Structures are given as structure tokens and as C-alpha cells.
Amino acid sequence: MLIRVDPASPLGLADQIAAQVRAAVIGGSLRGGDKLPPARELAAALEVNMHTVLRAYAALRDEGIVDLRRGRGAHVRSDLAEPDRERVALRREVRDLLDRAARIGITPEELVNEIRKALP
């Protein structure tokens, strides 16, 4: 899969890599069971540390998007159903919302309060 990173971006390199894998899963270009690039290859190609790539993959594992197994590499979870994709997409929007809030000085707690206020 195609991965781009921008070292000048305020977003960390691992976050940039994770975001693109996440987007590919949501967009459907990565399907359940698909193998992610070997961390060493991707790291060498992007000229980043291998642990940066592994950190990205570990974050995706914690979100339930990929399976990480020693010796087998990283795979998109094959039990990832449509509701899960939706959830992954929603999480991304929440993260974007948090970033946007942080930029205008709203703390996560204040944001939660805003969301509560918006409840019918």
C-alpha cells in the first residue's frame, strides 16, 4: 500500500502512518485479512525508524483494526465487519474533533461538556 509521510507536519510520523492505514481500511482499499507492509521494509522506504512503524501498527492493534502476530506480521483483522468500519471512521472523526478543539483552546473535558449540552 502507498504511504506518505511529512516530517514537517505537527502530527507524529507514527500517527501519520496509522492514519493512512486507518483511512485505507475505512475506504475499503484494505480488506479483512490483507497483510500490512513488513515494518522493516516500510521503515527503510520512508527513512523512519522501524519502531515508529511498529508503534503505528501497535496503535492500530489497540483500536482493534489489525492483528499483530510475531513471525506473521500485521494483518487487517478478518472479523472486521461493516459496523466496526463505521466505528473506526467515527473514532477518526472524534480524534479530528479533539485536534480542532485543542487548536482553539478547548480541553477534552470542555469538549465532553459541549457534547453533553448538545444532547436532546
Q: Is 68 in contact with 61 (CB distance < 8 Å)?
A: yes
Q: Is 40 in the site for other proteins (CB under 8 A)?
A: yes
> Residue from 2, 104, 118, 119 that binds other proteins (CB under 8 A)?
2
**CB of residue 42 vs other proteins: minimum separation in angstroms?**
5
User: CA 73 from chain center: how many Å?
Assistant: 17
11 binds other proteins, rule: CB under 8 A: no
Identify the CA nearest to 39 among candidates 6, 63, 68. 68
**Among candidate residues 11, 3, 24, the one with its CA nearest the CA of residue 85:** 24
**Which is nearer to other proteins, 33 or 108 (by Cβ)?**
33
* CA dist 65 → 13, 25, 26, 91, 114 (Å): 19, 8, 10, 12, 29
Number of residues that bind other proteins (CB under 8 A): 18
Among 5, 19, 80, 88, binds other proteins (CB under 8 A): 5
Residue 12 binds to other proteins (criterion: CB under 8 A): no
Per CB under 8 A, residues contacting other proteins are 1-7, 35, 37-38, 40-42, 44-47, 71
